[in-house]
Structure 1
Amino acid sequence: MSDIEIRRATADDIPAIVAMLADDPLGARRESPDDPAPYLAAFERLDRDPQQRLVVAVRNGRTVGTLQLTVIPGLSRRGATRSIVEGVRIHSEERGGGLGTQLIEWAVEESRREGCALVQLTSDATRIDAHRFYERLGFEASHVGFKLPLI
């Protein structure tokens, strides 16, 4: 996978990122690739926040993967800093080739560089294949998550 570059996303990457977010049954119901305005506004907020890393994986000039890493200082665990991985997506033509592993490994190493004591992520209960993927990488299903929609 040496032909993959993982770098910070730019505004030019947003259409490809949104297309990947929308390219599954859950994302197809939640995302609106034809309306870039909310995504560009969100990108501006993320890009200004030093605790956020929205990254893309690029192969031969084409965006083929993405994830968001958030670093959160905290009081629990003796004042430990943790990171949260969100929005992991791999282009459909790239799935199964190790790119997801490479992105998660990048996130874990970046978390270590930031002094994080813990890397967390959530995965929708219906994403059984994703659960097996994360467990294979050493993550443990240790908590029950809850959500309260506000909009």
Structure 2
Amino acid sequence: MTIHYRQAQSSDLAELIHLLADDPLGAKREDISSPINAKYLQAMAAIEQDPNNELWVVESESKVVGMLQLTFIPYLTHIGSWRCLIEGVRIVKQVRGQGLGEKMFVYAIERARERGCNLVQLTSDKQRPDALRFYEKLGFVASHEGFKLAL
């Protein structure tokens, strides 16, 4: 499969929302109604305006087959280093299991290096055991306990 990466555009938003909703967890928390929920429009505008956020679309044969978001975060810890947070990783069902996820992470890690990051981190829901195994296979280590507080 030949793929290429490009930064997402507002015109991709409806398709990306459907991709985010296309799994059991996403189906519970995303809103695929039309017109597009204003919160998605606001988030997309903020991402597009923030130089430390990149929303990437992965295409094959002019069709969206994947997506991921990279957020570059400056820290005072680790001698003022930068980190890259990888979120919103999704692949369309039809191409899962063909190595695309690994290619996307190689790309994301290279983007982090290009931006001067010395750490890449991510979170994954504990209800996604296949994803957890995949991240470990890529070399990610579950080194910390994470906590969230819904507001």
Residue number in structure 2 paired with 1:33: 32
Aligned partner of 1:127 in structure 2 is 128
Q: CA RMSD in A?
A: 0.9
Alignment of 1:130-145 (within 5 A): 130-145=131-146
Q: Quote the residue 2:65 is aligned against.
A: 64
Secondary structure, counterpart of 1:142 in structure 2: coil
- The within-5 A match list for 1:107-122 is 107-122=108-123
Q: Which moved more, 1:98-107 or 1:34-43?
A: 34-43
**Matches of 1:145 and 1:53 in 2, distance apart?**
23
| Identity over aligned pairs, percent | 50
Output the CA distance in 2 between the equivalents of 1:51 and 1:124.
Answer: 24
SS in 2 for 1:69: strand
| Residue 38 of structure 1: how far off its partner (Å) | 2.0
The alignment's TM-score, normalised by the length of structure 2, stands at: 0.96
Partner of 2:53: 52
Supply the distance in 2 between the matched residues of 1:121 and 1:11 (Cα, whole angstroms).
25
Is the counterpart of residue 7 in structure 1 residue 6 in structure 2? yes
1:16 paired residue number? 15
Q: Normalising by structure 1, what TM-score?
A: 0.96
Q: Specify every segment of 5 or more residues in structure 1 that has no aligned partner in the other structure, as ranges.
A: none
